[in-house]
């Protein structure tokens, strides 16, 4: 399949760490699943450790896709806690930090700085996503599951654009 051009210009690793962290704040498993696929395709190096090597394996990709699908479903359920409550917020910060560190490792940059940038992006994404969804619900009276589906599309689209911009002109696919 021909590469789809990214709508973003080429991005340096710090910008990719912040933006993928932001996506983790919206949907925590989106950047994890997409980077696992990138790793399996040989376009992303998550690290040299035993767990990092398994990230791009068939099992790692399958596990990340199950987490991704589970999050997409769980987000639409009325019993799911808000992403800005303590547990979900801390999980998003940790995921954003892990994604940021991995992006920096792949680029030969400082992992601690990448983790800090990714976590900051995740915090901003969690707050912005929660605020935007609440605002849209109040203004449009659209059902929450539909607003969640729109947010899913935004999160996946932004992650694909950032990953594509990280590879120069070639995009994810």
- Per the model's pLDDT, the better-predicted residue between 171 and 35 turns out to be 35
Percent over 90 (pLDDT), the chain = 74
Q: Show the domain range for 87.
A: 13-166
Residue 47 lies in a domain: yes
Residue 142 lies in a domain: yes
pLDDT of residue 170: 38
Predicted pLDDT of residue 9: 84
**Structural domain includes residue 7:** no
Question: Angle at Cα 70 formed by Cα 117 and Cα 18, nearest 5°?
Answer: 10
Mean pLDDT of the chain: 89
What's the pLDDT at 171?
38
- Domain tally, the chain: 1
Residue 4 within a domain:
no
Q: Which tens digits make up the pLDDT trace of 50-83? A: 777 788 899 999 999 999 999 999 988 889 999 9
Q: Say if 35 falls within a structural domain.
A: yes
SS3 content of the chain, % helix, strand, coil (to 5): 70, 0, 30
């Amino acid at each position: 399949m021909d590469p789809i051009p990214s709508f973003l210009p080429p991005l340096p690793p710090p910008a990719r760490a912040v933006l993928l962290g932001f996506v983790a704040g919206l949907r925590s498993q989106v950047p994890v699943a997409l980077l696992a696929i990138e790793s399996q395709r040989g376009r992303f190096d998550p690290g040299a450790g035993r767990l990092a090597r398994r990230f791009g394996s068939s099992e790692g990709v399958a596990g990340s896709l199950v987490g991704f699908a589970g999050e997409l479903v769980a987000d639409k359920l009325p019993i799911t806690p808000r992403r800005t409550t303590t547990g979900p917020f801390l999980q998003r910060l940790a995921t954003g930090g892990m994604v940021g560190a991995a992006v920096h490792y792949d680029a030969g940059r400082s992992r601690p700085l990448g983790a800090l940038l990714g976590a900051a992006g995740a915090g901003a994404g969690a707050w912005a996503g929660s605020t935007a969804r609440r605002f849209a619900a109040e203004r449009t009276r659209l059902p929450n599951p539909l607003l969640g589906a729109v947010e899913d599309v935004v999160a996946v689209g932004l992650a694909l654009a950032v990953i594509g911009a990280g590879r120069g002109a070639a995009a994810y696919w």
